[in-house]
């Protein structure tokens, strides 16, 4: 008998519209934001760099200089107090993340260039600055104020244009966590209206070099029928956090996470429960299995079932089905296995023999648990 799931009721009731979650915030009114969206996720126009001069560190940025890097650009003006504060913030971000592949550039207009050049020479401005002589750079990126912030990803794509300062650290962390391949894939999703929301998940994982995650021997991706959108190799499209905990809330930091989408009326879901329980007990401290209900039933049914069927793993309830809908799940049970950096390493039916092997391999390979 093949792997089974509960799909008919779900397919009938699943709304396939994609509503963006709380992502990176842009500045400006609706018309301005719409103009920014048109240039985001496109290859950054390197001719804009060629139109700058006066590079204060003596090395102009070009395709070779930014290859595989994340580039943070601040459009600033020396007579603007907010720009002064922004320049300090840009310098801090560069100091903290230069070894992870972050390059910072401040672009300044012709007017006031002597002032900022003196500030660079005196050490008050600690990032590279280049002069936008004829305003072509500002025009090309649709900058409309000072300071305006832009981010180019490792694949050379303008991922975020004119973002709000409060979103900057999150956006930088997001792009630094991506490989070139993941950047391309995530940009495609973003262009299709799915803006990936990272939890830049485990705080502890931030101290682990990205290369350790990139080079780990993760399980083979599930190439079979998923009955869902394939997010293997990507971050969750919606961050965890809106669900209601039925079990006692657990600390997820620094853990491998299994999300199990299920329902009390789903026979195959219930057949998977003993294995999930065994995995939780076996890998306690390294693994958290989260069973997320909310598929065509109310919280009362899930709570009563959880009380009468005690397990080591946790039960949660998501009335809005936030992650479930973004994953476009069409049949349950459906599980995803995430490493401690928040990337989905395997996805599919937990009754598949490959599921248990995937969980064990993710735990064995995750850099968080290196001795």
Q: Which pLDDT band holds residue 12 (cuts at 50, 70, 90)?
A: very low
Q: Which pLDDT band holds residue 236 (cuts at 50, 70, 90)?
A: confident
What pLDDT is recorded for position 18?
28
Which helix (DSSP H) or strand (DSSP E) does residue 304 occupy?
Answer: helix 299-308
Task: Just give the CATH number of 8-18+198-369.
Answer: 3.40.30.10
What pLDDT is recorded for position 205?
61
Angle at 43 (CA atoms; ends 39, 46), nearest 5 degrees: 105
Give me the torsion for CA of 179, 180, 184, 185, rounded to 10°.
Answer: -30
Pick the range with the lowest mean pLDDT from 23-37, 71-85, 177-191, 289-303: 23-37
User: Mean pLDDT in the chain?
Assistant: 88
Question: Could you tell me what percent of the chain has a pLDDT over 90?
Answer: 68
Q: In this model, does residue 134 exceed pLDDT 80?
A: yes
Average pLDDT over residues 119-132: 94
Distances (CA, A) of 19 to 61, 230, 328: 37, 18, 12
Average pLDDT over residues 25-34: 80
Q: In this model, does residue 354 exceed pLDDT 60?
A: yes
Q: Is 71 left (phi over 0), alpha (psi -120 to 50) or beta?
A: beta
- Tens-digit pLDDT profile for residues 168-213: 988 998 899 888 988 898 888 788 765 555 444 444 565 788 788 8
- Tens-digit pLDDT profile for residues 292-306: 999 889 999 999 999
pLDDT, greater one: 275 or 20:
275
- Tens-digit pLDDT profile for residues 88-122: 999 999 999 999 999 999 999 999 999 999 999 99
How many Å apart are CA 330 and CA 215, to the nearest integer? Answer: 32
Distances (CA, A) of 249 to 236, 309, 331: 20, 18, 27
What pLDDT is recorded for position 193?
66
Q: Are 289 and 280 in contact (CB under 8 A)?
A: yes
Helix axes 267-282, 353-365, angle to 10 degrees: 30
Q: Which pLDDT band holds residue 1 (cuts at 50, 70, 90)?
A: very low
How many Å apart are CA 213 and CA 340, to the nearest integer? Answer: 9
- Tens-digit pLDDT profile for residues 55-69: 998 789 999 999 999
Average pLDDT over residues 238-253: 87
- Tens-digit pLDDT profile for residues 46-55: 999 999 999 9
How many Å apart are CA 47 and CA 158, to the nearest integer? Answer: 13
3-state secondary structure of 21: coil
Token pair recorded at residue 208: 């682990």
DSSP-derived secondary structure letter, 276 = H
Q: In this model, does residue 229 exceed pLDDT 80?
A: yes
The burial of 371, by beta-carbon neighbours within 10 Å (0-12 exposed, 13-18 middle, 19 or more buried), is given as exposed
What pLDDT is recorded for position 22?
39
Domain with CATH 3.40.30.10 in the chain: 8-18+198-369, 30-191
Count of beta carbons in the 10 Å neighbourhood of residue 125: 23
Strands across the sheet with 148-152, in order?
42-43, 157-161, 148-152, 70-75, 102-109, 128-132
In the CATH scheme, what architecture does the domain 30-191 have? Answer: 3-Layer(aba) Sandwich (3.40)
Average pLDDT over residues 256-270: 97
The burial of 218, by beta-carbon neighbours within 10 Å (0-12 exposed, 13-18 middle, 19 or more buried), is given as buried
How many Å apart are CA 32 and CA 50, to the nearest integer? Answer: 25
What pLDDT is recorded for position 28?
78
How many Å apart are CA 66 and CA 106, to the nearest integer? Answer: 15
Average pLDDT over residues 330-349: 95
From first CA to last CA, the distance across the chain in angstroms is 41
* Nearest residue to 50 via CA among 134, 159, 110: 134
How many Å apart are CA 345 and CA 218, to the nearest integer? Answer: 7
What pLDDT is recorded for position 59?
83
């Amino acid at each position: 008998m093949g792997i089974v799931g509960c799909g008919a009721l779900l397919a009938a009731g699943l709304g396939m519209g994609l509503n963006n979650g709380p992502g990176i915030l842009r500045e400006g009114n609706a018309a301005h934001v719409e103009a920014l969206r048109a240039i985001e996720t496109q290859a950054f126009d390197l001719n804009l760099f060629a139109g700058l001069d006066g590079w204060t560190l003596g090395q102009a940025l070009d395709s070779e200089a930014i290859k595989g890097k994340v580039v943070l650009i601040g459009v600033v003006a020396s007579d603007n107090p907010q720009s002064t504060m922004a320049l300090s913030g840009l310098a801090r971000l560069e100091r903290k993340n230069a070894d992870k592949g972050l390059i910072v550039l401040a672009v300044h207009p012709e007017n006031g260039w002597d002032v900022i050049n003196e500030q660079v020479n005196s050490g008050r401005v600690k990032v590279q600055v280049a002069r936008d002589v004829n305003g072509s750079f500002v025009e090309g990126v649709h900058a409309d104020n000072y300071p305006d912030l832009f981010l180019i990803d490792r694949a050379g794509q303008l991922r975020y244009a004119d973002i709000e300062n409060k979103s900057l650290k999150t956006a930088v962390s997001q792009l630094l966590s991506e490989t070139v391949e993941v950047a391309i894939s995530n940009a495609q999703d973003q262009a299709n209206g799915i803006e990936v929301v990272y939890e830049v998940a485990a705080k502890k994982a931030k101290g682990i070099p990205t290369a350790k995650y990139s080079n780990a021997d993760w399980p083979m991706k599930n190439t079979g029928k998923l009955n869902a959108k394939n997010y293997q190799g990507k971050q969750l499209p919606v961050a965890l956090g809106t669900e209601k905990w039925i079990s006692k809330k657990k600390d997820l930091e620094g853990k491998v996470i299994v999300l199990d989408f299920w329902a009390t009326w789903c026979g195959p879901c219930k057949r998977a429960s003993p294995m999930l329980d065994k995995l939780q007990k076996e890998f306690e401290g390294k693994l958290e299995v989260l069973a997320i209900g909310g598929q065509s039933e109310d919280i009362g049914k899930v709570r009563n079932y959880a009380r009468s069927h005690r397990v080591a793993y946790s039960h949660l309830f998501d009335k809005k089905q936030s992650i479930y809908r973004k994953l476009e799940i069409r049949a349950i049970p459906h599980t995803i296995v995430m490493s401690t950096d928040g990337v989905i390493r395997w996805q599919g039916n937990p009754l598949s023999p490959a599921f248990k092997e995937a969980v064990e391999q993710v735990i064995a390979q995750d850099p968080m648990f290196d001795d």
